Amino acid sequence: MKRDTPDFFSPLLLGIISIFIKVFILVMVVIGIISGVTSPNPSPVTTQITQILPEVPVSTATISPQDAAIANSEWSGALTAKPSFQPVIPVIIPTLPPPPTSQPTAIVAPNNNNPAPTAIPTTAIGSPLEGFTISDLQSLITQEFKAPPPGEDSGHHGVDFAFWTLGDKHILGTPIQAVFPGKVSMSDTQEKPPYGYSIMIETPLNTISGNLIQAIKIPTQPIVTTNSNKLNCPDLSKDVWNSSSKSLYTLYGHLVNASSLKQGDTVQMGQVIGQVGNSGYSSAPHLHLEMRIGPSGAAFQNMGHYDPITTEEDRHNYCNWRVSGVFQMFDPMDLYKVSMVTK
């Protein structure tokens, strides 16, 4: 067979092409291996997001909206750490210098023969917070009234009003108004637990509108003194109460400071008697409003419990007010609900 014929060159040409392809593939494989070994491993791409936070103005108030929404009452069971701050809005009411602190005196049973305050006719109940109507109160409640078993200092003896901000209003420093006219029966000059700075006003029952009296829901029981078996109370058995006439007593707790009013002062409905604060056993600013029916003419210098700073007289008054059965509690909102219906 001749070498220059197509039949001779075809196998040779195919062999050369096959060798060339194999060499090319081998070279590419080697290059790929070398590139994989020498090239640095790609690092994951991380995207750093810089969040620009809005500049927060420096404020001494450190209570969060969540804290305000769960504002505890005077019944917390223990003192809680409270931030140090001043009211976020300037609220100025006339104040008088507090009287000098007197030395502890011997315990004297309450003077229950004091004449009842002069009748001040009234047909309505006022809002306890300046700038808020009676219709607003239901939406401000953070802790409702909860009656405890007789003789126990549990439950929640009043109703709490609180909020963080509503428009341009802040609860801390909000002026507190008298809901009924009457006479000051207690005005604390010292911060005593659990109520802190507080004030109590007595209003004779015969000066209160009949529809409000009918709304008061308290258990029917005689006015007698009972000693609590679950609270460390002084002996209350020697206290004698004259229940020939009765009054409604309204207590306002956790004021920002001592009220300028003194025991025996006369107040009118709507009169500013203090400011909402965070004193006593309270985890956030709020107003604790408490109402009871008891013998007319009762007066207390002060009251307190659950802390060594309280005196025997403080605890004596506290036990009489809270657990003795002499002063019978009811839900303040019972009166406001009637007032809202009749309007």
Confidence of residue 144 (pLDDT cuts 50, 70, 90): very high
Residues 109 and 167 in one domain: yes
Same-domain status, 29 and 143: no
Residue 46 lies in a domain: no
Q: Which domain, by its residues, includes 101?
A: 64-343
Domain co-membership, 90 together with 30: no
Residue 291 pLDDT level (bands cut at 50, 70, 90): very high
The pLDDT, as a whole number, for residue 297 is 94
Report yes or no on whether pTM surpasses 0.85.
Answer: no
Can you give the pLDDT at residue 29? 72
- Residue 79, classified by CB atoms within 10 Å of its CB into exposed (0-12), middle (13-18) or buried (19+), is middle
Mean confidence (pLDDT) of the chain: 75
pLDDT level of residue 343 (50, 70, 90 thresholds): low
- Residue 31 and residue 154 in one domain: no
pLDDT confidence of residue 181: 97
Establish if 41 belongs to a structural domain. no
pLDDT at 207: 93
Q: How confident is the model at residue 15 (pLDDT cuts 50, 70, 90)?
A: confident
Q: What percent of the chain has pLDDT over 70?
A: 65
Domain count, the chain: 2
Q: Does 100 score more than 70 pLDDT? A: no
pLDDT of residue 227: 53
Measured on CA atoms in the order 304, 307, 311, 312, is the torsion positive or negative? positive
CA–CA dist 99, 171 (Å, integer)? 28
The CATH number given to whatever domain includes residue 96 is 2.70.70.10
Domain match, 222 and 311 both = yes
116 and 18, same domain (yes or no): no
Report pLDDT for 189. 86
Q: Work out the pLDDT band at 64, boundaries 50, 70, 90.
A: very low
For residue 52, tell me if it sits in a domain: no
Could you tell me if 216 and 130 lie in one domain?
yes
Tell whether 45 is covered by a domain. no
Do residues 217 and 68 share a domain? Answer: yes
Closest alpha carbon to 77 in 158, 153, 179, 172: 153
φ, ψ dihedrals at 200, nearest 5°: -125, 135
